[in-house]
Each structure stands twice: as structure tokens, then as C-alpha cells.
Structure 1
């Protein structure tokens, strides 16, 4: 269209070089909505001002697959916009632009799948931002400069299982970075709980450091130069900082920090001049048994789970009780509830006998040392190192010969244990309902247990179900004997097993009455399914009663 001899309105203009414009004109100047098409096939469609891209528009480049949709200013990407850098659209940026450069805040997804979200300057990561390396399972949150970590930040290394699932705990560094490396002052938190705090140089520990490793509430301070330890001192901490160091300690004379002992309650009994020696000697025994202790902890941590738990070096108190019972510790003149009191530490009274209380490897080892002293010290005849002798005897006589030979109704059959754990919280509520709450703790006695079955009119079922769970003599002559939730839970499972057997026998009788087709039906899929349902529902029905 022309007006007064000038292009005005909608039209198409093609330059000698092949550049084509199709859109609105104002007095011979492309102005308004239009489309540019270059000789190589690249296009721009959007707002045009004085013949250049200005406003909002979309640009497609055929040479490098670049696609941009967003704001423009004076012919350059400027403002808010999204750019795709490949045809698959797996590489892209969405955010702020300044004169064709990524600058401001934006989200960048790389072809590898890695993602950065944060501040930019001159097309580089610069300022505060978060980078996620998906393939490596790493994340950095903090300051950037010229595309690399620089300043204060936190780098996290996630840990993965063999099946591809992720552990909840991870290694983490928080501190200073320089040119992409840990450099300056920083703290490294290991997945197991250990803490390294000190100076770093080019990604390595350097200078004065503080390494927190144990329940003793101390921190070990080293001076490191050139990667070598120069000096060491100790400082008492104002609070507990518990460590666990996921590294090999085969060359160390002490157990790893994740097995650091908290046995102050025993050392207080030892004459002060002998305490350090006693601690060192029992640590030597722990070191000799380290592989077995880790294996036992890992084994019992998996009981009751269909899949391996996130932390295979952490038990629940329920699993810890099972370990003690498998090793017949309760036959040594001590009950599980008494052991709970010996290892109670500074916890809420309501948590002393809770089956959900976590027991890390370091706690497990400490608990076993405490138990060893209380059941074997009276049998020791003037040992040179009392604690070490007791723990060595416990491991030799009780733990190693019996551990991993799972007994009881709960975990003996893995499939049954997995199903039963679904009812654990409900049964814990029942346990708390019938037990006695004193000022110090909440416990159940054999008398309470028997009363519960009497109230539910299932006493006969109770006597059938206590086989291999509670001792008859104990039941009748020591009705006030306190029991743990594990023993209570396994009595319920024993009753459920009796119920299952009764229902199964009834089902077989019904099949026999059915006539000549009995043998055929016995092997049929329907009967197999019904028997599986009975085994699952036996415990379910008992819980409902």
C-alpha cells in the first residue's frame, strides 16, 4: 500500500541481497507487526520499530538451530525471553537478557540435563545461584564469578545405592570457594555425621582444622601444611557434635568416628588414672571386631524392610532388641527393659522404650560395651583391662556365635516381617494404652499383657501364642516382670499364627467335605491365593479385635 507516494500500511519489500520484509509500513519505514526472512531461511516474526526488531518477537536461525522468543530492544535480545539452542530443545535458557547476553536472573538447562538457576552476567554464571549436576548427583548453592564457584557456598554430594535410589544423607561442604575450588575457611559434613572444620587450599585440607569425631564432646585440632599433620590439640565443645567418617580406617589404631565410643558411664566407675588406658584397650577390641560389627549392624538394619533402608548402619531400637534376643542376652540375668535403662542417655522418659528410636552404629557399639560390662564383669577374675575383657567375652561367647540367626515371630520369616511392620504403629498405640505410665518411664508387665487378652476374651489364644516368646515360669511367678514392645508384638504375632492355623484347618475341612474334587482344588490357584490371604489377614483380624 502506498500513501502520498510512500509505502504505508501492509506490504512486502525485498532488498537486493535477498532480505525480505512482510508487514506494516509507516512512511516507507517497516513499523509495527512484521516478518523478516533472510536468504538462509532464518526468520523473525514480531514487533518492528524503525526497521529493526524492537518489542516482542520470535527469531529462528536455520544455521545453528537457535530459537528465541521474547523481548527485543534496538535489534538485540533484551528483557525477558526464552532461547533454545538445539532442535531437541534439551538445551535452553529462560530469563533476563541484556544486549544479546544472558544477564540478570535466569534458568539454564544444559544438553546433559544439568540445571543452573540464578544470576548471570555477560553470558556467564555470576552472582548467587544454584547448580545441579544430575548425572553426578551433586548440587552447589552459593556465589559464582565468571562461570565458576567463587565466594561463599554449599556443595552437596548425594549418595546412591546400587539400584539407583538415593540415600537421604549426603556429604556436604559449606564455606569459601575460589575459582571453582574449596579454598579458604569451610566445614565438611560427612554423610555419617563427622564434621571437618578448618582451612582449605585448592580443594585440600590446609592449615588449622577442627575434626569432630565422638560423643566425648571434644574436637581434635590439627595444623596441616602441605597435606601433612603438624600438631594436635583438643578442645571441649559446648554441645554434642557426633561424627561418622565414611572412609577406611584399616591403617588407624582407633575405630572410625562412626564407631566412636560413648562409655563415660562405665569410665566413671574406673579409677581416674586408668580411664584413658581402659578406653584405649576397649577401642582396640572394637577395632579388631569392626568388620563383624558393621556386618551385623547392616544385617539387622534390613529386617522388616522389603528394600534395603537408606542407612544400613542404623538400627531401630526394635531391631536392636531382636539382636539382643537372638544372642540370648536376656538369659544372662538381665531383661531388655533393664538394658534400656542402662543405655538411656539424656532422652525423654517416653522415648526410653520406644521401638522407633534410631540406633546408629556408634551407639550400637557403645551399647554392647555397656551391656558386656553389666553381664560379664562379675565373672572376671582380676582382669588387666576390665572393659576390654568384658566386651571381648561378649563378642566371643554371645554375639558372634548367635548373631544373624534370627528367632521370634516378627523377623524370622522376611515376608511376614514386612507385612507385620505395617501394623507396628497401631500395635504401639495399643501397647501404650495397656502399659503403666510412671514418673520415669512407660512400661508393660506380663500382668498387663494377660489382662489385655482377658479384656478381649482371647486368653486361650494368648496361651497358645506365647510359645517361644515368653517363658511360662516367668509369666506365672513374675507377673510384674516388665517386657518390651518387641516381646509384646511377637506375642500378638504368635496369636495371629495360631488364628491362621485354625482358619486353615477349617478351610481344609471344608475342602474335604466338598467331595471328589478336593484334590483338584487343593492345587488350584484359587486355594493358594486364599491361603495367602489368610496368613495376611490373621494378624489384621487380631489387631481389630
Structure 2
């Protein structure tokens, strides 16, 4: 094609270009439309490359901003479905700093990015108004941060077990946003825990161990009871649960009560109750050391794994009673309170609990520091 100053050009694939032209390349201002009118760029060109303009995809998504070597680079605004991103771009990806928010809810993320995903420090607000402030890695909460819920009656109900960050680019399936797509009705004074709610993981009642573990634990309990009975060292009431039955809802008897299967009772949570977690995160979940506390007084300090109490820690109940020891997936398997039997063993458990609580307090302090950095970005 010969060099001309401008005009209309039709390409073999059905696309067209109308605008400035120099040395066989788009130059100046022009509009390029894709085959059969699908997709369009309108703006400035420099020797065949987009410089600054608006690109509209066939599905209606748009980008308005700066380009370099055919890729979005610099400052720009992307509208993609119900999400709008405003910020910096690097070689075609969201990069360095920007804000992404929903046009239909209050969900948004503001902070640093890398390769199109939240990375570094940022603050996220969820559709129900809850927040996370802290560190991110590859679009997931990882490092140290603070998660604060809204009142329980307003918290989103989590219908999907798959949890990716509410405002994360990893979660473009907008009907299942993990931290909850549906708002709960705050009209009830007390709400029964029938499903998980955004920002809430603490529960007054222990969860039973996995089914595969239950048979083993029952066998272990039976063997220990026979052994202790043979030695005639059982004492009446010596093995009651360290958590009062009025709190735990678990009826326990015998010296090995910590291995008994609990009778699960649904907990009722006041609609105004809130929950805050400060500590370590991994793969978008509470993992490591940290502290979670509800406004009604329920508090756990210690080790976490995948949003569950796992490892050594201490639970404080609303009435002030404490339960401490080793947990597995929210279930207390070894108590640090017993002193009348195998005292050396329980002394070691108590020592591990104290160490875990201290580590959780330190992790919470680091989380506060990281949250301050995230908010200031």
C-alpha cells in the first residue's frame, strides 16, 4: 500500500481503518474497526501503534488510556462487566498502583498490583461493607493483615466454598464471589449459624473431627478408659471438659472427655456482633499465628490453618471461661488444663500454648503495622 496522508483502508480480514496514515502505517488520529465490526479503537497512533485512546471489545468492555507498543501501558480506565479499574498499567497488565470497584455494590480494592493481580499492600472493602487491610501476593491475601466484619446481621452469606478475594481478578465469576453475594436481613435480634458469613469464623462450640478420625478417637478413648480403670486411678468427675457445659453444650464424662464426640448445638449470634482478625494469612485464608475476637467477648489467640483453629492456642468465652490446648481443625484434641494426670505432658502442652499466644500477639502487632501501610498507599 502506498504512503498517503489519510483516508479509509479496508483490510483482507474485513477490518477497516479511517484516519491518518504515514509510510504505510496508521499515524495521527484514526479509528480502527475489527472484522465484521467487532471491536474498535479510536484515538492517537504513532507509526502503527496505539498511543492514547479508547478501545471497545465486542462484549462491550472498554479501556480508555495510554498505550505502548500495542499494549496498555501508563494510566488508564478499564470497564469490565460491573467492575471499573482506574490506575496504572504495565505491559498490558494492571501494575504498580490502582483502584478497582464494583458499579453495583460497595466492593472495591485500592492498592498495589503486579501482573494484573493485587500484590504488595492494599485495602479491600467487601460488598457487605467488611474490610481487609494488609499484604497481598498474586491476588490473594497473604502475609499479615486485618480483617474486620460488619455486624453479623448485615454480613454476606457465603454460598460458595470457593473463596477468592471479593474484588480479585481471580474471581471473575461474579455470581460466586466467596465472601458473599447475598445480603442477610438484619431484622432478627439473634441469628442462628446456618451458613458461613463474611468475616466470621469463630464459633463457641467445637466442631467434630473429620469422620475418619472419629472412629479412631472413640477407640482411643475406650482403650484409655480400660487402662485407667485397670490401674484404679480414675476419680469421679476428674475428666470433665475444661469448658463448662453451659458454654460448650457438650456433655462429657470420664477421664478422656477431650476425646469424646461433642453433641453439636447451633449457636445463636446477636445481629450486632462483629468479628476482627489480626495476624498471618496464606493463600487467602487465616493461617499461621493470629488473634480473632468477637464483640460479644469470644476470643481465640494462637495458631490457625485455613480459617480454623489448628495447633496450640487459647479460647476465651464470653463469660470469661478459658479453654486452652492443641486444636485440630477447630476441635480441641489435647487440653492444657489437666494437672492431676500425666502432669509432665500437660505442662508441656501449657508451655506450647503460652508460646503460641505470645506469637499470636506479635503477629497481631505486625498486622496492625502492615494495615497502616496498606491504608496509607
TM-score, normalised with respect to structure 2: 0.52
Secondary structure of 1:40 counterpart: helix
Pair 1:115-2:131 in alignment: no
Matches within 5 A, 1:378-457: none
Is residue 15–residue 36 contact of structure 2 (8 Å, CA) maintained in 1? no
2:212 aligned residue: none
1:43 aligned residue: 40
The number of residue pairs the alignment matches comes to 224
Which of 3, 6, 25 is the aligned partner of 2:3? 6
Could you tell me how far 1:215 is from its partner in structure 2?
10
After superposition, give the CA deviation of every residue in 1:298-341 in whole Å (9 maximum; x if it has no partner): xxxxxxxxxxxxxxxxxxxxxxxxxxxxxxxxxxxxxxxxxxxx
In the alignment, the residues of structure 2 paired with residue 117 and residue 186 of structure 1 have an alpha-carbon distance, to the nearest angstrom, of 24
Higher helix share: 1
1:61 aligned residue: 57
Pair 1:103-2:95 in alignment: yes
In the alignment, the residues of structure 2 paired with residue 164 and residue 58 of structure 1 have an alpha-carbon distance, to the nearest angstrom, of 49
Pair 1:176-2:171 in alignment: no
Could you tell me how far 1:139 is from its partner in structure 2?
1.9
Is residue 19–residue 36 contact of structure 1 (8 Å, CA) maintained in 2? yes
Which of 83, 96, 110 is the aligned partner of 2:78? 83
2:146 aligned residue: 154
Could you tell me how far 1:207 is from its partner in structure 2?
2.7
After superposition, give the CA deviation of every residue in 1:451-476 in whole Å (9 maximum; x if it has no partner): xxxxxxxxxxxxxxxxxxxxxxxxxx
Q: Which blocks of at least 5 consecutive residues in structure 1 are unaligned?
A: 236-545
Is residue 7–residue 29 contact of structure 1 (8 Å, CA) maintained in 2? no
In the alignment, the residues of structure 2 paired with residue 156 and residue 214 of structure 1 have an alpha-carbon distance, to the nearest angstrom, of 19
Is residue 3–residue 21 contact of structure 2 (8 Å, CA) maintained in 1? no
Could you tell me how far 1:94 is from its partner in structure 2?
1.6
Could you tell me how far 1:138 is from its partner in structure 2?
2.8
Could you tell me how far 1:12 is from its partner in structure 2?
2.3
Pair 1:30-2:26 in alignment: yes
In the alignment, the residues of structure 2 paired with residue 40 and residue 211 of structure 1 have an alpha-carbon distance, to the nearest angstrom, of 64
Secondary structure of 1:6 counterpart: coil
Q: Measured at CA, do residues 69 and 12 of structure 1 come closer, stay the same or move farther in structure 2, by a change above 3 Å?
A: same
In the alignment, the residues of structure 2 paired with residue 230 and residue 169 of structure 1 have an alpha-carbon distance, to the nearest angstrom, of 28
2:325 aligned residue: 223
In the alignment, the residues of structure 2 paired with residue 214 and residue 44 of structure 1 have an alpha-carbon distance, to the nearest angstrom, of 61
Could you tell me how far 1:110 is from its partner in structure 2?
4.4
Could you tell me how far 1:36 is from its partner in structure 2?
0.9
Could you tell me how far 1:225 is from its partner in structure 2?
3.2
In the alignment, the residues of structure 1 paired with residue 314 and residue 127 of structure 2 have an alpha-carbon distance, to the nearest angstrom, of 31
Larger-Rg structure: 1
Pair 1:205-2:309 in alignment: yes
Could you tell me how far 1:173 is from its partner in structure 2?
0.3
In the alignment, the residues of structure 1 paired with residue 95 and residue 46 of structure 2 have an alpha-carbon distance, to the nearest angstrom, of 24
Pair 1:190-2:305 in alignment: no
Secondary structure of 2:45 counterpart: strand
Could you tell me how far 1:71 is from its partner in structure 2?
0.7
Q: Measured at CA, do residues 131 and 40 of structure 1 come closer, stay the same or move farther in structure 2, by a change above 3 Å?
A: farther
Is residue 208–residue 221 contact of structure 1 (8 Å, CA) maintained in 2? no
Q: Measured at CA, do residues 164 and 153 of structure 1 come closer, stay the same or move farther in structure 2, by a change above 3 Å?
A: farther
In the alignment, the residues of structure 1 paired with residue 309 and residue 319 of structure 2 have an alpha-carbon distance, to the nearest angstrom, of 24
Is residue 46–residue 56 contact of structure 1 (8 Å, CA) maintained in 2? yes
Matches within 5 A, 1:117-156: 117-135=110-128, 137-156=129-148
Q: Which blocks of at least 5 consecutive residues in structure 2 are unaligned?
A: 155-185, 190-269, 338-349, 355-377
Is residue 314–residue 325 contact of structure 2 (8 Å, CA) maintained in 1? no
Is residue 285–residue 307 contact of structure 2 (8 Å, CA) maintained in 1? yes
Secondary structure of 1:158 counterpart: coil
Higher relative contact order (CA 8 A, sep 6+): 2
TM-score, normalised with respect to structure 1: 0.37
Is residue 47–residue 57 contact of structure 1 (8 Å, CA) maintained in 2? yes
In the alignment, the residues of structure 2 paired with residue 131 and residue 35 of structure 1 have an alpha-carbon distance, to the nearest angstrom, of 37
Q: Measured at CA, do residues 97 and 35 of structure 1 come closer, stay the same or move farther in structure 2, by a change above 3 Å?
A: same
1:20 aligned residue: 16
After superposition, give the CA deviation of every residue in 1:20-44 in whole Å (9 maximum; x if it has no partner): 2222223333212211122232211
In the alignment, the residues of structure 1 paired with residue 65 and residue 318 of structure 2 have an alpha-carbon distance, to the nearest angstrom, of 56
In the alignment, the residues of structure 1 paired with residue 187 and residue 310 of structure 2 have an alpha-carbon distance, to the nearest angstrom, of 37
Q: Measured at CA, do residues 51 and 220 of structure 1 come closer, stay the same or move farther in structure 2, by a change above 3 Å?
A: same
Secondary structure of 1:224 counterpart: strand
In the alignment, the residues of structure 2 paired with residue 163 and residue 44 of structure 1 have an alpha-carbon distance, to the nearest angstrom, of 50
RMSD: 3.3
Q: Measured at CA, do residues 230 and 25 of structure 1 come closer, stay the same or move farther in structure 2, by a change above 3 Å?
A: same
